[in-house]
Amino acid sequence: MEWKGAEKGSMDFKYLYINTMGCQMNVYDSEKIASVLRSSGYKMTSSLKIADLIVLNTCAIREKAEQKAYSFLGRLEDLKREKPDLIIGMGGCIAQQEGEKILRKMPYIDLVFGTHAIGRLPGHIEEIEKKGRRIVDIEMSESIQEIETAGGPENGVKPTCFVTIMQGCDNFCTYCVVPYVRGRETSRKPENIIQEIAEYVERGAREVTLLGQNVNSYGKKEGLFSFPKLLSLVNDIEKLLRIRFTTSHPKDLSDDLIRSFKNIEKLCNHLHLPVQSGSNRILERMNRKYTRQLYLEKIDKLRHFCPDIAITSDIIVGFPGETRKDFNDTLDLIKSVEYDSVYAFMYSDRPNALSSEFSDKVEDHEKKDRLKRILDIQSAITIKKNEALVGSDYPVLVEGLSNKQGGAGRQLQWKGRTSSNKIVNFHFNKNDLPEIKNCSGKIVTVRIETAFPHSLRGKPVGIEPSSLGSKGEESYAA
Ligand code: 5AD
Ligand code: SF4
């Protein structure tokens, strides 16, 4: 076989560099990309310089994400000039949206592939390697079967993993590009989902996040089981300790699913429930199909069944036609719900999205001002909530070593999350609990000592026996 790219001596492989932008769905897709290209002889590298194939997995959700993608691609032009054999591929949502146009705009790009083309990548790469062709594949498949055959992510050995349970969206919120770049809502078969999760768990994963644009409507179209039923099947997977899911649409949050937070043992007590706006007028213009009152009722129910559930949200400020009064309704809703945290975004027009044609756009400076006001109010709520945790003990699933090491007597610093999704950092102290050599994937009970705006710090006070495994005790250092 003829290998393209840098000389590897006697080694039969080439290097693949992937830059992933955007949401967790893209993180999952990038793992699939790495996995299918492994069969074409590509090994992952974190160095752009030695890469034979560079893939940018793009996000189109907001204008800023799009600018970031083009700025990265712009920087690759020189690299291609120095190394003409280099293959550059652009995938994901912008690729799906722009197709052919990318090849015309950027002559140094070899491949543009959409969100449904991952399974076909090996064939495309072979064509480029052998015939030097430039390829665009933005065909959308009707079903999710092609994704099924795309191979499993390599990354199952991390304590946490993502698994896509459905793709696409049928909701057509007026600001959103997703239905155009990810296609119609399609759910995967439960048996394939369970098998994939079980494989990761076998390889060391202890927590799974089920992904979809609107997981609450899982299986409805196909007449498969409901989402709560899927959760109960996932709950039965042995050695899996925690389940999360994202994203939920408030209109599809059923009473059954709300009760799952009480009844499904491994389901974490955190829900991301994007409200987008607190004004009924704007919610209607966004085509969200719920009112502020209905949303608040659902929050009350959630807290009734699971009193310490953490709730987070997405908010868009400056949607076309949003008046000061509408914006104040949003501020008021944030104060009354008291979210654990919110992601707030300035509205931006997206191609095809209906709201890009709405005429009454909000000025940029006004959007910036509204964004700042939301962030200020929410920061105060978040810190208050984090401070209330100080002095209590929480089980933390350890994800690995913290980015910041050193200090504190050079003990290893560990990082994990509570069930409510708060980041917790800790280290072992001689006088406390005996040190565990490798904490990753274990559940350590941590007594919270300090609260920060985005994380907590504490000391370990116990370990969950169920997370130790059969040879668990041996992992304690003498
Ligand atoms: N402008 C700003 N924010 C947007 N989002 C989606 N589309 C837009 C847009 N056109 C936000 C929503 C969504 C999150 C993922 O991104 O809040 O929940
Ligand atoms: Fe976009 Fe609305 Fe679908 Fe979410 S539910 S992906 S915001 S169209």
**Does ligand 1 lie within 6 Å of residue 274's CB atom?**
yes
Residue 276: CA atoms inside 13 Å, Cβ hemisphere, count? 24
288 CA closest ligand 2 atom index: 2
- 330 lies in some domain: no
- 290 lies in some domain: no
Considering the domain architecture, whether residues 466 and 419 belong to the same structural domain is answered as yes
Q: Which domain holds residue 48?
A: 14-137
- 174 lies in some domain: yes
pLDDT at residue number 466: 77
**Does ligand 1 lie within 6 Å of residue 316's CB atom?**
yes
Query: pLDDT: is 44 or 10 the higher one?
Result: 44
DSSP string, 9-35: TT---EEEEEEE-SSHHHHHHHHHHHH
Look at residue 145 and tell me whether its pLDDT is greater than 70: no
pLDDT-derived band at 478, boundaries 50, 70, 90? very low
- 5 lies in some domain: no
- Give me the phi and psi of 415, to 5 degrees please: -135, 140
Q: Is the pTM of this model over 0.85?
A: yes
Considering the domain architecture, whether residues 125 and 215 belong to the same structural domain is answered as no
Considering the domain architecture, whether residues 104 and 166 belong to the same structural domain is answered as no
CA 178 to ligand 2 centroid distance, Å: 6
CA 247 to ligand 2 centroid distance, Å: 9
- 173 lies in some domain: yes
Each residue's pLDDT tens digit, 289-330: 999 999 999 999 999 999 999 999 999 999 999 999 999 999
Q: Please tell me the total count of domains within the chain.
A: 3
Considering the domain architecture, whether residues 172 and 73 belong to the same structural domain is answered as no
Name which of 263, 295, 267, 265 is nearest 279 in CA terms: 295
Considering the domain architecture, whether residues 210 and 122 belong to the same structural domain is answered as no
Considering the domain architecture, whether residues 133 and 182 belong to the same structural domain is answered as no
Look at residue 142 and tell me whether its pLDDT is greater than 70: no
Residue 372: partners with Cβ closer than 8 Å, 6 or more residues away: none
pLDDT-derived band at 431, boundaries 50, 70, 90? confident
Residues above pLDDT 70, as percent of the chain = 91
User: Which of 24, 93, 173 to probe ligand 2 with, by most ligand atoms within 8 A of CB?
Assistant: 173
**CA Rg, the chain, in Å?**
24
Distance of alpha carbon 97 from alpha carbon 351, whole angstroms: 8
User: CATH number of the domain that 471 lies in?
Assistant: 2.40.50.140
State which of 241, 268, 295 marks the end of a domain.
268
CA 177 to ligand 2 centroid distance, Å: 8
Considering the domain architecture, whether residues 460 and 419 belong to the same structural domain is answered as yes
CA 173 to ligand 1 centroid distance, Å: 10
Q: What is the mean pLDDT of the chain?
A: 91
State which of 268, 296, 320 marks the end of a domain.
268
Considering the domain architecture, whether residues 123 and 208 belong to the same structural domain is answered as no
Helix (H) or strand (E) holding 285: helix 280-285
Each residue's pLDDT tens digit, 445-475: 999 999 999 999 999 999 888 777 654 433 4
- 286 lies in some domain: no
Sheet holding 341-346, edge to edge: 270-272, 310-317, 341-346
Residues above pLDDT 90, as percent of the chain = 84
pLDDT-derived band at 406, boundaries 50, 70, 90? low
pLDDT at residue number 437: 76
Decide: helix, strand or coil at residue 122.
Answer: helix
Taking the CA of 316 as reference, the closest ligand is 1
Decide: helix, strand or coil at residue 56.
Answer: strand
Distance of alpha carbon 343 from alpha carbon 327, whole angstroms: 16
User: Which of 314, 315, 371 to probe ligand 1 with, by most ligand atoms within 8 A of CB?
Assistant: 314
Look at residue 5 and tell me whether its pLDDT is greater than 60: no
In the beta sheet, which residues pair with residue 208? 161, 243
User: CATH number of the domain that 214 lies in?
Assistant: 3.30.750.210
Considering the domain architecture, whether residues 18 and 121 belong to the same structural domain is answered as yes
Q: Which of 87-101, 138-152, 401-415 ranks highest by mean pLDDT?
A: 87-101
pLDDT at residue number 152: 57
Residue 113: partners with Cβ closer than 8 Å, 6 or more residues away: 89, 90, 91, 95, 120, 121, 124, 135, 136, 137, 138
CA 453 to ligand 2 centroid distance, Å: 29
Mean pLDDT value across residues 123-137: 95
pLDDT at residue number 408: 53
Considering the domain architecture, whether residues 129 and 19 belong to the same structural domain is answered as yes
Considering the domain architecture, whether residues 132 and 163 belong to the same structural domain is answered as no
Look at residue 2 and tell me whether its pLDDT is greater than 70: no
Whether omega for the bond prior to residue 247 falls within 30 degrees of 0, making it cis, is yes
Each residue's pLDDT tens digit, 232-273: 999 999 999 999 999 999 999 999 999 999 999 999 999 999
Considering the domain architecture, whether residues 82 and 37 belong to the same structural domain is answered as yes
Spell out a b/e string for 136-146, using b for 16 or more CB atoms within 10 Å of the CB, else e.
Answer: bbbeebeebee
Give Dmax over CA atoms of the chain in angstroms.
69
Look at residue 35 and tell me whether its pLDDT is greater than 50: yes
pLDDT at residue number 468: 75
CA 92 to ligand 1 centroid distance, Å: 17
State which of 106, 137, 168 marks the end of a domain.
137
Look at residue 276 and tell me whether its pLDDT is greater than 60: yes
pLDDT-derived band at 189, boundaries 50, 70, 90? very high
- 93 lies in some domain: yes
pLDDT at residue number 227: 97
How is residue 44 written in tokens?
Answer: 């992952």
User: CATH number of the domain that 112 lies in?
Assistant: 3.40.50.12160
- 313 lies in some domain: no
Name which of 208, 206, 202, 201 is nearest 159 in CA terms: 206
Query: pLDDT: is 414 or 437 the higher one?
Result: 414
pLDDT at residue number 141: 76
Mean pLDDT value across residues 426-452: 87
